[in-house]
Amino acid sequence: MSNVTRRDAIRAVGLGLTAAIAAGTAKVGVGADAAANLANPAMVEGAEAWKYAVVDPKQVADDAYENYSVGRCMHTTFKAIVENVADALAEKDPLAAQQMKSFPFHMMRYGGSGANGFGSLCGAVNAAMAAIGLFVSDGDTRKALCNEIGWFYERTLLPIYKPEDARDEQDYPQTIANSLLCHISSGKWAGVAQVKTNSPERTERCSRLSADLAQKVAELLNQNLAALNSADVAPVVSLKRAQPTATCVSCHDKSGTNADMIGTSACSECHPDYDVEHSAR
């Protein structure tokens, strides 16, 4: 077992893989990378990513919505995506599927109410970006996909998702957050819906929002996989910020002439009095 460390072997026990590793090593003398992949069959060989398989975005949304109460926004969004990928892989690659299902999902519980109640980054967004990070190793692709998530959340009238028993529902309150912050996003919605933030209506809204984000990630990762496999499908490439924020960022962010702040989220939310002309005044 020269190439398989004791720790790898111990880790593999839970997967019933010790025999497989021992057999593989004896037969072909697998290298360190291959041994690591045997210990974690969910990994793509030679890349820092988990395997991905096409999922049904609607199913992912339904699962995220249904299981919201288990661990709230971040937990349900992340788990719905990973478990659906595991299900999609189950037949072809049962060891990978098993590894995915044993992900320590409980860690994602911290994300509720904007990271442990801080009202900071929305947990559904946090989960969506974490899932992208899990399945996509190429840096530019990861950033483009995460940008799509961030801008979708900031600029779309949400929530869109309607549960089975409410699919013909009219006039459900929707808001454009113009921010990735739980504080701003949930507050705006509660204001428009005229409910308290501790109401069951606000919880329902965040269940639907989690479904929206879970579905969006599934669509993006499906598209990304399709683009990798076919020249006919366009890759996700949006690396540029929308206006006017792109112009603000060109002066103020790290690479700008001012370089006096960090961030690319919609400036107008917190600096409504600054337009792009102020530097010339």
User: Which residues form the interface with ligand HEC (CB under 6 A)?
Assistant: 181, 244-245, 247-252, 258, 260-261, 263-267, 269-271, 274-276, 278-279
> Measured from the CB atom, is 58 or 240 closer to ligand HEC?
240
> Measured from the CB atom, is 144 or 267 closer to ligand HEC?
267
Q: Is 120 exposed, middle or buried (0-12, 13-18, 19+ CB in 10 A)?
A: middle
Using CA atoms of 267, 215, 145, 113 in order, give the dihedral in degrees to the nearest 10. 40
Q: How far is the CB of 179 from ligand HEC (least distance, A)?
A: 6
Residues 6+ apart with CB under 8 A from 151: 238, 242
| Conformation bin of residue 46: beta by default, left when phi > 0, alpha when psi is -120 to 50 | left
Q: How far is the CB of 197 from ligand HEC (least distance, A)?
A: 18
Tokens of 26: 């004896």
Q: How far is the CB of 113 from ligand HEC (least distance, A)?
A: 16
Contacts 24+ apart (CB under 8 A), 97-100: 98/15, 98/41, 99/15, 99/40, 99/41, 99/42, 100/42, 100/50
> Measured from the CB atom, is 24 or 119 closer to ligand HEC?
119
> What distance in Å separates the CA atoms of residue 270 and residue 274, rounded to the nearest whole number?
9
**Dihedral sign of CA atoms 270, 273, 276, 279 in order:** negative
Q: How far is the CB of 114 from ligand HEC (least distance, A)?
A: 12
